[in-house]
Amino acid sequence: MDKQATTKKEIQQNLLHWFDKNKRDLPWRKTKDPYKIWVSEIMLQQTRVDTVIAYYNRFIESFPTVEDLAAADEQDVLKHWQGLGYYSRARNLHKGAQMVREQFGGEFPKEPDKVKKIPGIGPYTAGAILSIAFNLPYPAVDGNVLRVFSRVFAIKEDIAQPQTVKLIQQKAAAYMPEGHEGNFTEALMELGALICIPVSPLCLTCPLFHQCEARLQGIQDELPVKRKKAKPRPMHMVFCIIGCGTEILIVQNPFGRLLKGMWGFPGQEGSTGKDEETVERILTELGIAASGVQKWGTARHIFTHMDWDMHIYRCEAESKQAVGQPHRWIGKEETDQYPFPKVYQKILSRIKW
């Protein structure tokens, strides 16, 4: 065997052996059901493992099969996602379950082209599910795996560039060991999470210590090379808690597509020093006559692209007038019936009813 083939075999064997001995006991590792692996991968896309565990268990308990999820009410699905953020993940998962039921007869497909047609599933998630559930040789390259490969092969190109991702995807596909594709995928993720961490990787305990090009060249702390993302845009936001007796007004889709299906408080972007005008605009657009406008507090919430400096006002509506968007007037005890994203929970939890 030439040197390259020997190194490849060593990388595969060392990684699989290390994973076998060191893998964390995680609930989605006790199953080969593609539906459950799909749910876990979607939850894990933007959320930490520690946080996902409880959400995953609760979700699977409520929706144990793809049919159960397909038949569920979207509001109920969103309610199970409350607090995880990035709610389009939940809406897509729900739509995806309906697609699996209607187009694939309830069986999760094994063909990558079909899998990638499911809403919310891109190349990464497709590779993760196909390799983990079915041991098929499709790699799952996420941020962790990009970091591991850029170090193991001392790849110095920017991993934010599509051509670098492509190169690493090809390498990852070429390194998948036959018959152990699922474990290899998870071993790479696990190595990235536990050993080949972003800052000060733990090379001394790494199973690829002898094979890692970056470590051999002493450049593991400089890799991967990644262009900085733009900072979230600071926005001055104004919100109204509109009361009517013991009830308050909540609106659905409070910020357009971003929070579609979720519930929150009427609000708009405003300018510093002009909150009164913004409050007026919010009330006018809702068609509500209200009085007793008072500043009630501030809060901050950072999304991927926006940094909200929130100024919250309270006022009293004359009556429960018609409002030109889906809405409810709710009392304190009804709040847990509606899915609220974190940003509005920050407001909700501090309301003095």
Catalytic residue numbers read 41
131, exposed or middle or buried, with CB in 10 Å at 0-12, 13-18, 19+? Answer: buried
Task: From 245, 256, 246, 230, select the one nearest 318 (Cα to Cα).
Answer: 245
Of 15, 39, 42, 44, the residue at the interface with ligand ADE (CB under 6 A) is 44
Q: Compare residues 42 and 249 and give the one whose CB is closer to ligand ADE.
A: 42
Give the x-and-dash track for 45-64 against ligand ADE (CB under 6 A). Answer: ----x---------------
Q: Which stretch binds ligand ADE (CB under 6 A): 41-49, 96-104, 231-239, 312-320?
A: 41-49
Give the x-and-dash track for 185-204 against ligand ADE (CB under 6 A). Answer: -x--x---x-----------
- Rounded Cα–Cα distance for residues 32 and 36 (Å): 8
Q: Compare residues 135 and 268 and give the one whose CB is closer to ligand ADE.
A: 135
Q: Compare residues 40 and 82 and give the one whose CB is closer to ligand ADE.
A: 40
Q: Compare residues 133 and 249 and give the one whose CB is closer to ligand ADE.
A: 133
Backbone angles phi, psi at 209, to 5 degrees: -50, -45
Task: From 203, 221, 200, 199, select the one nearest 212 (Cα to Cα).
Answer: 203
Longest dimension (CA), the chain: 83
133 binds ligand ADE (CB under 6 A): no
Give the x-and-dash track for 7-36 against ligand ADE (CB under 6 A). Answer: -------------------x-x--------
- Pairing type for strands 263-264 and 247-252 reads antiparallel
Integer angstrom CA distances of residue 56 from 39, 43, 77, 296: 7, 8, 12, 36
Q: Compare residues 181 and 186 and give the one whose CB is closer to ligand ADE.
A: 186
Smallest gap from Cβ 181 to ligand ADE, in A, equals 13
Smallest gap from Cβ 53 to ligand ADE, in A, equals 10
CA angle 282-307-261, nearest 5°?
55
Token reading at 300 = 């901050």
- Positions touching ligand ADE (CB under 6 A) are 26, 28, 40-41, 44, 49, 186, 189, 193
